[in-house]
């Protein structure tokens, strides 16, 4: 699962908002599909650049992630590397393309049965829920000192 960080959460929210507010979305286009839209936000590359990089390889995002190798100089591998370095995992990218992460789907309840991986409104719901899940993970890991601990450190 993606690193629960402010940067990852913000990238997910920005991508979801962008799709929701009219950013070009086409599931069959490597630069404007689910992963393509996220890659635009993270890498600051255009949909055309991402698509051109991907077309030098074979298959959709799922297949290209499966064949990812950090040692090659395939352009799509550079995009995938940037996404991984940013905090996402290869599993995250595969799940995003199909809207299939079990942890995210569980949080959606009955809504998970109606999601379509190539419907932009469903992508928005999925990404926003993913961001909420990561926010909750961050909150759960915050440890605040108690008043007694602060008092003891100051006066003992």
Render pLDDT for 35-69 as a digit per residue (tens, 0 to 9).
999 999 999 999 999 999 999 888 889 998 988 87
Mean pLDDT of the chain: 90
Q: 134, 145, 40: which is closest to 83 by C-alpha? A: 40
The answer as to whether 1 is a domain residue is: no
The answer as to whether 11 is a domain residue is: yes
- Number of domains the chain is built from: 1
- Domain membership of residue 42 as a residue range: 6-155
What pLDDT sits at residue 71? 67
Classify residue 28 by its DSSP letter. Answer: T
Task: List, as own/partner pairs, every contact residues 40-49 make where C-beta atoms lie below 8 angstroms and the sequence separation is at least 24, other chains included.
Answer: 40/15, 41/11, 41/14, 41/15, 42/11, 42/82, 42/83, 42/86, 42/88, 43/79, 43/82, 43/83, 45/79
What pLDDT sits at residue 156? 60
What pLDDT sits at residue 1? 81
Q: How many CB atoms lie within 10 A of CB 155?
A: 6
Residue, of 85 and 71, whose pLDDT is higher: 85
CA-to-CA distance for 106 and 87, rounded, in angstroms?
Answer: 22
pLDDT over 70 at 131, yes or no? yes
The answer as to whether 12 is a domain residue is: yes
The answer as to whether 45 is a domain residue is: yes
The answer as to whether 144 is a domain residue is: yes
The answer as to whether 69 is a domain residue is: yes
The answer as to whether 38 is a domain residue is: yes
The band of 144, judged by pLDDT with boundaries at 50, 70 and 90, is confident
Share of the chain above pLDDT 90, in %: 65
């Amino acid at each position: 699962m993606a690193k629960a960080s402010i940067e990852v959460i913000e990238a997910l929210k920005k991508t979801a908002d962008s799709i929701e507010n009219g950013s070009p979305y086409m599931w069959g286009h490597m630069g404007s599909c689910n992963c393509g839209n996220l890659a635009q936000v993270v890498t600051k590359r255009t949909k055309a650049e991402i698509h051109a990089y991907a077309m030098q390889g074979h298959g959709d995002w799922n297949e290209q992630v499966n064949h990812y190798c950090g040692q090659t100089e395939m352009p799509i591998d550079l995009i995938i590397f940037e996404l991984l370095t940013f905090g996402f995992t290869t599993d995250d990218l595969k799940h995003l393309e199909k809207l299939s992460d079990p942890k995210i789907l569980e949080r959606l309840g009955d809504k998970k049965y109606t999601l379509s991986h190539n419907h932009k409104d469903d992508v928005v719901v999925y990404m926003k829920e993913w961001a909420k899940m990561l926010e909750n993970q961050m909150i759960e890991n915050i440890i605040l000192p108690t008043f007694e601990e602060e008092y003891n450190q100051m006066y003992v």
